[in-house]
């Protein structure tokens, strides 16, 4: 393979993550620091205030390891606001990648079709 783009999902359920002192934040250590991946995906529930408070996710928030979520609407006061990419432009593969999630998170997710079309217009 010449160029490969891997978009891993954050692990929140495995015994390793549950027992690790860093909790869910260990995802950055494993996915970015060890495997060298450039971004990650997750369910929109990760960016809710409850998840942020209950899971201590500040260690997972990084400008160098963004969360790819296309159809979410966050307030600028949400601590995840600056760490989310709606579109990821990969330099090595020349791909533009979206992560459209089910619109079942009231107040967080936005219309999948409209967001996808808007992003495709932006990419074009």
Give pLDDT tens digits for 64-100. Answer: 999 999 999 888 988 899 999 999 999 989 999 999 9
Q: Is 1 within the bounds of a domain?
A: no
pTM of the entire structure?
Answer: 0.85
Q: Is 77 within the bounds of a domain?
A: yes
Domain carrying residue 24:
15-123
Q: Is 85 within the bounds of a domain?
A: yes
Alpha-carbon gap, residue 71 to 61, rounded angstroms = 18
DSSP E strand boundaries for the chain: 67-68, 84-85, 87-90, 95-98
Q: Report pLDDT digits (tens) over 96-113.
A: 999 998 877 777 888 889
Alpha-carbon gap, residue 43 to 24, rounded angstroms = 13
Q: Which of 23-37, 59-73, 104-118 has the lowest mean pLDDT?
A: 104-118
The arithmetic mean of pLDDT across residues 31-39, rounded, is 93
Q: Is 4 within the bounds of a domain?
A: no
Alpha-carbon gap, residue 23 to 94, rounded angstroms = 33
Q: Is 9 within the bounds of a domain?
A: no
Q: Is 5 within the bounds of a domain?
A: no
| Domain count for the chain | 1
Q: Is 113 within the bounds of a domain?
A: yes
Q: What is the pLDDT of residue 55?
A: 67
Q: Is 103 within the bounds of a domain?
A: yes
Q: What is the pLDDT of residue 52?
A: 67
Q: What is the pLDDT of residue 67?
A: 94
């Amino acid at each position: 393979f010449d160029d490969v783009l891997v978009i891993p999902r954050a692990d929140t359920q495995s015994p390793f993550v549950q027992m690790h002192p860093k909790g869910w934040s260990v995802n950055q250590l494993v996915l970015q620091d060890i495997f060298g991946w450039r971004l990650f995906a997750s369910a929109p529930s990760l960016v809710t205030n409850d998840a942020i408070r209950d899971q201590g996710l500040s260690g997972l928030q990084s400008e160098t390891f963004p969360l790819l979520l296309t159809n979410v609407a966050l307030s600028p006061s949400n601590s995840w606001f600056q760490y989310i990419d709606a579109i990821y432009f990969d330099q090595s593969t020349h791909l533009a990648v979206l992560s459209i999630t089910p619109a079942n998170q009231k107040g967080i997710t936005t219309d999948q079709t409209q967001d996808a079309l808007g992003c495709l217009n932006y990419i074009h």
